[in-house]
Amino acid sequence: MKPPQADALAARKQQVADLPCGGCRACCWHDRVFLGPADDPRRYRWHVEDGYAVLDRRPDGACVYLTNSGCGIHEQAPSICRRFDCRVLALTTPADVMRLRVQQNPQMAEVYRAGRERATTLPD
Ligand code: SF4
């Protein structure tokens, strides 16, 4: 049986994240920001990668909607952006999977670091 904390973390993946991001935008440099069934594709600039709809990226690799002051489409950001919680990701991803993801996309090291740094702000 899974410990209660694991269930609580899994449930948080379904919620809109309430994160103390500060100036951190690490997740906006993720290699793939997926559009989901709840996202109206007419609202976004996107393309297909390996069969998945993902937001376009700037030439430097960041999400096309990232601005100097953060997300440029904040309230209309795709559901994955509104639900993504780097703290949960950092606490639930096995170490070997983390290493693999960082090899595939070095920016993920920053996302995991940001999650660990904020882990103490997760509500019980
Ligand atoms: S849509 Fe906004 S929150 Fe989502 S990755 Fe792009 S800039 Fe970041």
Cα–ligand 1 centroid distance for 60 (angstroms): 14
DSSP string, 48-112: EETTEEEE-B-TTSSBTTEETTEETTGGGS-HHHHH--HHHHHHHS-HHHHHHHHHH-TTHHHHH
Per-residue pLDDT tens over the stretch 7-53? 766 666 666 667 888 889 999 998 899 999 999 999 999 999 999 99
How is residue 118 written in tokens?
A: 């904020």
Cα–ligand 1 centroid distance for 82 (angstroms): 9
Cα–ligand 1 centroid distance for 65 (angstroms): 6
Q: What does the alpha-carbon distance between residue 93 and residue 96 come to, in Å, rounded to a whole number?
A: 8
Looking at per-residue confidence, does 12 or 88 come out higher?
Answer: 88
Residue nearest to atom 4 of ligand 1 (CA): 81
Residue numbers of the domain that contains 45:
4-121
DSSP string, 8-55: HHHHHTTSPP----TT--GGGG-S--B--TTS-GGGS-EEEETTEEEE
Write down the pTM of the prediction.
0.82
Q: 26 and 92 in contact (C-beta within 8 Å)?
A: no
pLDDT(91) > 60 = yes
Per-residue pLDDT tens over the stretch 45-74? 999 999 999 999 999 999 999 999 999 998
Q: 62 and 31 in contact (C-beta within 8 Å)?
A: no
Atom of ligand 1 nearest to the CA of 44: 1
Structurally, the chain folds into a number of domains equal to 1
